Structure 1
Amino acid sequence: MDAVEQNLVNWQASLLKSIPIAGLLAKDPVAYKWKATFRCWMLREVTFWRVSDLLTQSYALHQQGHSLGARILLRSGFETLAVMIYLNQLIQKVVTNDIDFWTFSEKTTVLLLGSRNGSTDVKSLNIVTILENCDKRYPGLMSLYAFLSESAHPNYEGMSKGYSIIDHDEYETQFLNRWTELHANEHLNSMQLCMETFHHEYDDVWPKRMNALELWLHDNDTELEAAKSSREAE
């Protein structure tokens, strides 16, 4: 069992099965009376479930020699990682007063409930916008995502390069599936990078920032309650 497979097994065993709302309220009734804090928990766990599922399937396809599908799933894994990073960035911005709490609350709603097909009343954020924000924390993330996206789209990389070789000497084009030849060697390293970054954001960054947010909510509770009453009266 290689390191990637072992990490995936460990992740599967670590997935949270439920969030006890009553337990959060009992733990901290001031911080968890706000829906935004519960949404932070929801976002953290659904991103973990999604990235675990995506990368498990990406690994399985890679092992079977289906490199194109493996890359497309890995691309989605990096998109999901970006949501986790972006959430942590938003939490930090509230604590440092770079955005107000109400803007933060709206953004958590968009991240959790946003859609593009009308299945909800909330329009989702463009994932490229989220990735561009994340690239400020992890330079190179956007370029790696763009590299994976070239495989996902029916352009030169996704079509001509992936399925043909031009023999200039014989003036002949040969058709074949080149995805394993082109990308299999780097796939596990890219998976490892995605997993290590997600683990850091999930296990190290998020708990510290949520703790800071809880303290910030205590410190600003009176002002927030007054603002809430004012907003409801409008």
Structure 2
Amino acid sequence: MASIPLGGLFSRSATAYKWKAPFRCWMLHESVLWRLHDLLTQSVALHKQGHGLGARILLRSGFETLATLIYLNQLMKQVLDGTLGFHEFDEKTLRLTVGSKNKSTKTESINIITILGKCENRYPGIEKIYANLSESAHPSYEGLCVGYSKIDHDLYDTNFSNRWMELYGDNHLGMVELCMVSFEEEYNDIWGDLMSKLEGWIEANDDELEATKPPDGETQS
């Protein structure tokens, strides 16, 4: 989507969209698409040019972005299941959309490791994928010694070179595809169904939500 017309949302459900949380769900849905497309396009471009490290770092950010949408979908389902209060859901969507770590906003963002931990329940192995990509991104043993040196045990020599394509070039595009396929399901199939159900749920529970909303009115548009 190139834009989110507020008039279109109110025509879908004036009751649902007097609350901020559903609009934030649309914001996250579309922002994740734009960011993930940008990250993975650049990751593939760097891979084709033989820049393996940069390609992996961008892919790592891609999995972070994917995890944000997975987590949002989980939160929406929890509201529908009755395991998460709507006003708490509202606060979490606020943190997902305008949260920051550098104090550029008043709201603290949710730690990405926490989000990935929640996603592990639906996509077993996503935490390990992220951890492996993070080892490449950081100047740790793999990020320094493995990525740029190789020991010749026979000659007792250490030889330096850029080894990222040698180490990970063959499986990079498969990892990109895994990220894309998972995103497509979350974006096209899961989110749309949950969003429609959430709108209906808000309409059915609007009186209770009004009666229990925080006194500062944060959940209101």
Q: Structures share a fold, TM > 0.5?
A: yes
Root-mean-square deviation over aligned CA pairs: 1.1
TM-score by length of 2: 0.96
- 87, 109, 132: which is aligned to 2:72? 87
Matched pairs, number: 217
Residue identity opposite 1:77 in structure 2? G
C-alpha distance in structure 1 between counterparts of 2:98 and 2:134, whole Å: 24
Q: Which of 203, 212, 218 lines up with 1:218 in the alignment?
A: 203
Query: CA separation in 2, counterparts of 1:232 and 1:84?
Result: 28
Instruction: Determine helix, strand or coil for the equivalent of 1:19.
Output: coil
Cα distance in 2 for partners of 1:191, 1:48 equals 14
Measured against aligned partners, the alpha-carbon deviations of 1:139-164 in whole angstroms (never above 9, x if no partner) come to: 01111111111100111111101100
Counterpart for residue 107 of structure 2: 122
1:17-56, aligned counterparts within 5 Å? 17-56=2-41
Q: Which runs of 4+ in 1 moved over 6 A?
A: none
The Cα shift of 1:232 comes to 4.7
Over residues 115-141 of structure 1, what are the superposed CA-to-partner deviations in whole Å (9 max), with x where a residue is unaligned?
011110011111000000001100011
Partners of 1:80 and 1:185 in 2: how far apart?
Answer: 23
Q: Residues 5-38 of structure 1, C-alpha deviation per residue, up to 9 Å, x if partnerless?
A: xxxxxxxxxxx10000111112210111111000
Aligned to 1:77: 62
Q: Quick one: which of 95, 119, 122 aligns to 1:137?
A: 122
Alignment identity in percent? 57
User: Which residue does 1:201 correspond to in 2?
Assistant: 186
Q: Following TM superposition, by how much is the alpha carbon of 1:79 offset from its aligned partner in structure 2, in angstroms?
A: 0.2
Whole-Å Cα distance in 1 between the matches of residues 183 and 75 of structure 2? 16
Match of 2:149 in 1: 164
1:179 aligns with 2:164: yes
Quick check: which one's helix share is greater? 1
Task: Name the structure, 1 or 2, with higher relative contact order (CA <8 Å, separation 6+).
Answer: 2
In structure 1, list runs of 5 or more residues that go unmatched: 1-15
Equivalent position of 1:63 in the other structure:
48
TM, length-normalised to structure 1: 0.91
